[in-house]
Structure 1
Amino acid sequence: MNGVTGRMGYRQHLLRSILAIRDDGGIPMPDGDRLVPVPILVGRDTAKVSAIAARHDIASWTTDLDTALSDDTAEVYFDAQITSVREKSVLAAIAAGKHIYVEKPTADTLDGALALARAAAAAGVRSGVVHDKLFLPGLLKLGRLIEGGFFGRVLSVRGDFGYWVFEGDWQPAQRPSWNYKAEEGGGIVVDMFAHWSYVLGELFGAVEAVTARAVTHIPHRWDEKGEAYEATADDAAYAIFELAGGVIAQFNSSWCTRVDREELLRIQVDGTHGSAVAGLTGCKVQHRSATPKPTWNPDVPNGEDFREQWAEVPDNQPAGNGFRAQWERFLREVRLGQDHPFDFLAGARGVQLANLGLESSARGARLTVPELVL
């Protein structure tokens, strides 16, 4: 596990996924056995990685990736490093014969992402890319509604994601400074368009065209040492995605917005037979038979509470941490010799959409999304 000294690598992947699986006795297998993961930690900072290992009773750690990759007992390599150094490390792991599971984006460029997919295919190793949003309870409920035909014909999707990330001067920032440096792989388009690629593609239809505007609203920020720096990466993006089947999706992604909604992510789906609003955990619906008939009249105060007219989708199927759920699926498939559906080619689609989003913004143009093949 490379990159677990970072916030996401530590909290979601090591602590809440791998160690939680270990402490719960492993993953149940079809033959009645249990698959128990044994992590080997890799990091650049000796003090940080050794402290994490000691804190969680992890026997093996190193600051040398080659040493970790030479361990024949380790079947899987995981990477949660910053994007700019991921490609080289993953290629080394593929050469060592490891199955690969990585955070997104898989590489800085589409060529790099496709190179990883081709290298993994040539080496015969299985690959997986984090698609955590699909495992969120709110989106699982949304998927259940789609499967049950609740919407009729889906017309549009509207997503709002984000929150205010402090600049770092008078209050510490909640995100690392590299997120705001394009030269280090930062930017909200690179970060979030990969998510929107698979969320839209898996639930509603492949993205066929994109029109985007990426901006840097906050030009100056302060890093972890309190030193001022120029923000060279976008911190907000406003996009229209045209999907297969004629569905139109609009997504606002911003680290410069203050939240007035139930959760940090809100996705509304409107269809001919009904609508739904999903967040990270909850999902509300309004069927056409229960849709009110409001009248626009700006001279009279509105007397309706529109939010009260929606019904909650019940928690019929308990859902835990989405990162852990995908880890369990990937590790189970590796042991059973099965391919993971969210592989390096799926990861490359996310990189492709991010690149096209940035190009669309720079050119002020609507761009079509070509189909990717290995």
Structure 2
Amino acid sequence: MTRRTMRIAVNGATGRMGYRQHLVNSLLAIRADGGLDLGDGDVLWPEPLLLGRRAPALRAIAERHGLDPVADVATDLDAVLADDSVDVYFDAQTTAARPDALAKAIAAGKHVYAEKPVAPDLAGALALARQAEAAGVRHGVVQDKLFLPGLRTLKRLVDSGFFGRILSVRGEFGYWVFEGDQQPAQRPSWNYRAADGGGIAVDMFPHWEYVLHELFGPVRSVQAHVTTHVPRRWDERGRPYQATADDAAYAVFELAGGIVAQINSSWAVRVHRAELVEFQVDGVEGSAVAGLHGCRVQHRATTPRPVWDPDRPVTEDFRAQWQPVPDQDPDGHRGCFRTQWELFLRHVALGEPWRWDLLAGARGVQLAELGLASSAQGRRLPVPELSL
């Protein structure tokens, strides 16, 4: 067996997503399982280089997880990118800091992988995609929800023709994010400051773009209303601040083929559903309700006949009339972030097919940008097809 080492600079390793999802649950988990099997006796061994501004915090993470607190820690981005041993640059910083760092990494000839959104605006996102294509480097953007069991099952139902002609998609996402005064907030304060790249539309519309695009078809138009329901919050030090970014977005998307998708996104809603996000898909032949992990269906042949009678209490248990769909992934669920990391590493090492590139990331930025513009202008806006 031959071990192929791949050095990966992880910028933002001290952040919530960079540390937990990408470092611990993905790269270190791959190492814990003996590396990534590439076939023919080759194993890819990821070597993380923790990059950030706070050296003590980076060293503490390195020591906690058996990495070298000196050799595997860095605070100088330029020096890291000048290091020929670094193969891949990964960015999990705040959105505002991401484009410049990605541009530097591409210019240095590094393969790049990034959290979304890849840039604060469409022009910046497209510039990165064009730069990466011209440089001939491998590039990708995180589109994690595609690799969760519920949505993979939903994709399988779509591909099998279960729904017949699909009519509509309805999505509900969100939960109550504490203001920070009585209980600590579950999200960082920058999420609620527009100047720092915060806002739920910027955060979630890129997700909805790739989910809708991959499962049902490209988005052709958007009509949205975004708002800030909770204008006053408290930061990590207990200081009050004014929330300048939206915490709720209500949108209607028209997809290719006439499918209508309605998705509500809110950090100011209390959960009354099976999962924090659920999608209901209705087609002529059947319907499905999928979360990130579970999926239930109701076929045309088993659809009951509800009768509207407002004078009588409902006696039917409508939820019990749906059937669960088994998860048929033979490998089991090892984590959506890890699954996409493994695909990207195989793409870099072997050139295997890959479609979640920076242009796909730019589509997400475009949808967020148009959603905000739609809300500001009070009208539906077309979503032009992007190309390089």
Q: TM-score range by the shorter chain?
A: over 0.9
What amino acid is aligned across from residue 350 of structure 1 in structure 2?
G
Q: CA deviation at 1:26?
A: 0.9
Partner Cα distance (2:130, 2:107) in 1: 12
What amino acid is aligned across from residue 128 of structure 1 in structure 2?
G
What amino acid is aligned across from residue 292 of structure 2 in structure 1?
L
Match of 1:102 in 2: 114
The answer to whether residue 358 in structure 2 is matched with residue 349 in structure 1 is no
The answer to whether residue 340 in structure 2 is matched with residue 326 in structure 1 is yes
Partner Cα distance (2:300, 2:50) in 1: 53
What amino acid is aligned across from residue 219 of structure 1 in structure 2?
P
The answer to whether residue 234 in structure 2 is matched with residue 234 in structure 1 is no
Comparing 309-318 with 263-272, greater Cα deviation is found at 309-318
Partner Cα distance (1:338, 1:286) in 2: 37
Residue pairs, 1:88-127, within 5 angstroms: 88-127=100-139
Consecutive unaligned residues of structure 1, counting only runs of 5 or more, are none
What amino acid is aligned across from residue 268 of structure 2 in structure 1?
C
Choose the corresponding residue for 2:309, options 279, 286, 297: 297
Residue pairs, 1:26-37, within 5 angstroms: 26-37=35-46
Partner Cα distance (2:296, 2:161) in 1: 16
Partner Cα distance (2:288, 2:213) in 1: 18
The answer to whether residue 326 in structure 2 is matched with residue 314 in structure 1 is yes
Match of 1:372 in 2: 386
**Offset from partner CA, 1:223-243 (integer Å, 9 cap, x none):** 001011110000000000000
Partner Cα distance (2:281, 2:334) in 1: 24
What amino acid is aligned across from residue 169 of structure 1 in structure 2?
D
CA root-mean-square deviation: 0.8
Residue pairs, 1:181-196, within 5 angstroms: 181-196=193-208
Partner Cα distance (1:39, 1:180) in 2: 31
Regions of 4+ moved over 2 Å: 337-340
Q: CA deviation at 1:255?
A: 0.2
The answer to whether residue 21 in structure 2 is matched with residue 7 in structure 1 is no
Q: CA deviation at 1:337?
A: 2.4
Match of 2:60 in 1: 51
Partner Cα distance (2:92, 2:19) in 1: 9
Q: CA deviation at 1:339?
A: 5.0
Partner Cα distance (1:163, 1:249) in 2: 20
Match of 1:141 in 2: 153
The answer to whether residue 36 in structure 2 is matched with residue 22 in structure 1 is no
Judge conservation of contact 2:55–2:73 (CA < 8 Å) in 1: no
What SS does the corresponding residue of 2:128 show, helix, strand or coil? helix
What SS does the corresponding residue of 1:173 show, helix, strand or coil? coil
Partner Cα distance (2:256, 2:57) in 1: 46
What SS does the corresponding residue of 2:261 show, helix, strand or coil? strand
Residue pairs, 1:156-305, within 5 angstroms: 156-305=168-317
What SS does the corresponding residue of 1:212 show, helix, strand or coil? strand
What SS does the corresponding residue of 1:36 show, helix, strand or coil? strand
What amino acid is aligned across from residue 209 of structure 1 in structure 2?
S
Judge conservation of contact 1:127–1:340 (CA < 8 Å) in 2: no
**Offset from partner CA, 1:308-333 (integer Å, 9 cap, x none):** 00000012212220000000000011
Partner Cα distance (1:255, 1:42) in 2: 30
Partner Cα distance (2:148, 2:202) in 1: 21
Partner Cα distance (2:354, 2:62) in 1: 29
Q: CA deviation at 1:30?
A: 2.7
Partner Cα distance (1:56, 1:146) in 2: 41
Match of 2:47 in 1: 38
Comparing 206-215 with 318-327, greater Cα deviation is found at 318-327
What SS does the corresponding residue of 1:295 show, helix, strand or coil? coil
Comparing 246-255 with 51-60, greater Cα deviation is found at 51-60
Partner Cα distance (2:303, 2:34) in 1: 48
Judge conservation of contact 1:126–1:340 (CA < 8 Å) in 2: no
Judge conservation of contact 1:126–1:339 (CA < 8 Å) in 2: no
Q: CA deviation at 1:340?
A: 2.3
The answer to whether residue 369 in structure 2 is matched with residue 360 in structure 1 is no
Partner Cα distance (2:255, 2:315) in 1: 37
How many residues align structurally? 374
Consecutive unaligned residues of structure 2, counting only runs of 5 or more, are 1-9
What SS does the corresponding residue of 2:201 show, helix, strand or coil? helix
Partner Cα distance (1:263, 1:72) in 2: 44
TM-score by length of 2: 0.95
Match of 2:163 in 1: 151
What amino acid is aligned across from residue 11 of structure 2 in structure 1?
N
What SS does the corresponding residue of 1:284 show, helix, strand or coil? strand
**Offset from partner CA, 1:246-274 (integer Å, 9 cap, x none):** 00000000000000011101000000000
TM-score by length of 1: 0.99
Q: CA deviation at 1:161?
A: 0.4
